[in-house]
Structure 1
């Protein structure tokens, strides 16, 4: 984990303390993507698979983290919230896993930033997927809004 990832992980746990209980670690922040490592042991349920609520929570957190880190890097000020979400559970998760969030298109961030600077409000769709044992086990899509 680099300094950018460590600093943002500290910010995440400060802004949303509950996320620390999910047992996640931010492993990589890239220009249009973020990767989070998730703990099987801290999120398993009575069936010895990762709890669906944890999968949803970690997916939202990872997508929100991509947005929040980009907002901070761009020096934008405002309130970031999730407007809507959808998740499909494809396979059970029986090991530690990764959650990877990204924009749907490469120009989504620039369009979002421009709209926000012009109107003081913007929204964008972020996708995330949980990957375990080299297989996509869930697909998440959320609409995030930044407003003043």
Structure 2
């Protein structure tokens, strides 16, 4: 049986129960964190206990989307996301080094988002620069 792992995400500290096996496979950072005798979370899980990982700085909505992808719940993953949501997802992709895990969904979201790509310097250009950098988009994307 998969040991219980909870993640506390967002400013409201919402507790999410996730599969420790799925989390140890997808994001390399979580894989390292959940190994025995490295971090207390991994040691607690190995001893048959429960572990909690606090992530108070992560956007809750974006993190839930990533969890749905990691846990293969594709019907729960939105087919379109807003620019703000995509910018938050990209922050998490960069933070947790999970571009390869989420890349197919990025390819699904990008064409719709590209329609709103600004052609002059506006406030919307800043999240686009972050998105383009992290996703390694070609020049002129």
TM-score range relative to shorter protein = under 0.3
TM-score normalised per structure 2: 0.23
* Larger radius of gyration between Structure 1 and Structure 2: 2
Higher RCO by CA contacts (8 Å cutoff, separation 6 or greater): 1
TM-score normalised per structure 1: 0.22
Higher strand share: 1
